[in-house]
């Protein structure tokens, strides 16, 4: 992006740990906790959701870039900051789980095209943030990993279904059950990313992609995304229906 960016502050922006810049028809969302490797906290998720709501309601933004500040895209959950996801209160745990789910769903369903610009590690929730975007571009420093299941944790925010949608069942099974790491080359082969470029070209490459999408006339890009997402949703619904059809029907108690 070459013109002077317009800074926009989203509601609940906190200490600026999630930042939004809008330059014409392109929005850039940055996870800005480089000293913590852009790890996710409850507040980061709140701020991200607020920014996504703002961007999603914009009538001028046509492409969105999601990135991490510094040498790490996102290291997943911040283990040094308490989270209500592990609260003794079930109500608090459910409230936060719903918030996380809403944030990822909002990213998944933004009317604009989304591009993840991935530099360095994308771990757990960070990898899920990237793969939730429509397009994922990384440089050769990128590493993707989902360590949750080997640690005895469930991948939340509908992460499993998103991985199945993007990668297919066998590769999702392999990634989640083994917790294996994928470097940039393997990530491209597996479909975790859609392009890999040299590190010094990453910023310009993604900016050019976003500009090209933003320049598509009329509502063509938005309608195309809606059509693609509709196909994905129908496929997911079909899988669920097929699975439910295999289950025994509950017996109706005699009156």
Active site residues: 148
Give the sheet arrangement for strand 63-68, strand by strand. Answer: 6-8, 18-23, 26-31, 63-68, 113-118, 135-138, 195-196
Contact 62, 40 (CB under 8 A): no
* Torsions phi, psi for 207 (to 5 deg): -60, -40
Short-list 48, 53, 188, 69, CA closest to 112: 53
> Quick one: tokens of 150?
């080997």
Short-list 209, 212, 211, 49, CA closest to 129: 49
If one counts every other C-beta atom within 10 angstroms of the C-beta of residue 231, the result is 10
* Torsions phi, psi for 245 (to 5 deg): -65, -20
- On the CB side of 75, CA atoms within 13 Å amount to 16
Integer angstrom CA distances of residue 29 from 48, 55, 78, 134: 8, 10, 19, 15
For residues 39 and 62, give the distance between their C-alpha atoms in angstroms, rounded to a whole number.
27
């Amino acid at each position: 992006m070459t013109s002077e960016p317009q800074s926009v502050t989203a509601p609940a922006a906190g200490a600026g740990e999630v930042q939004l810049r809008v330059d014409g028809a392109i929005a850039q969302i940055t996870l800005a906790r480089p000293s913590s490797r852009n790890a996710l906290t409850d507040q980061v998720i709140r701020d991200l959701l607020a920014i996504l709501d703002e961007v999603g309601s914009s009538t001028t933004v046509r492409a969105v870039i999601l990135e991490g500040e510094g040498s790490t895209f996102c290291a997943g959950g911040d283990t040094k900051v308490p989270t209500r996801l592990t609260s003794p209160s079930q109500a608090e745990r459910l409230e936060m789980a719903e918030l996380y789910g809403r944030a990822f769903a909002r990213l998944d369903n933004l009317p604009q095209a989304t591009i993840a610009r991935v530099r360095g590690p994308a771990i757990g929730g960070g990898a899920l943030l990237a793969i939730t975007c429509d397009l994922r571009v990384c440089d050769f420093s990128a590493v993707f990993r989902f360590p949750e299941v080997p640690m005895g944790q469930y991948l939340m925010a509908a992460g499993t279904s998103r991985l199945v949608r993007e990668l297919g069942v066998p590769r999702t099974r392999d990634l989640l059950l083994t917790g294996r790491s994928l470097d940039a080359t393997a990530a491209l082969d597996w479909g975790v990313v859609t392009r890999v470029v040299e590190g010094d070209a990453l910023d310009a490459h993604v900016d050019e992609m976003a500009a090209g999408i933003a320049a598509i006339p009329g509502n063509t890009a938005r309608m195309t995304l809606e059509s693609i997402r509709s196909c994905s949703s129908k496929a997911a619904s079909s899988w669920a229906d097929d699975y439910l059809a295999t289950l025994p029907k509950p017996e109706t108690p005699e009156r």
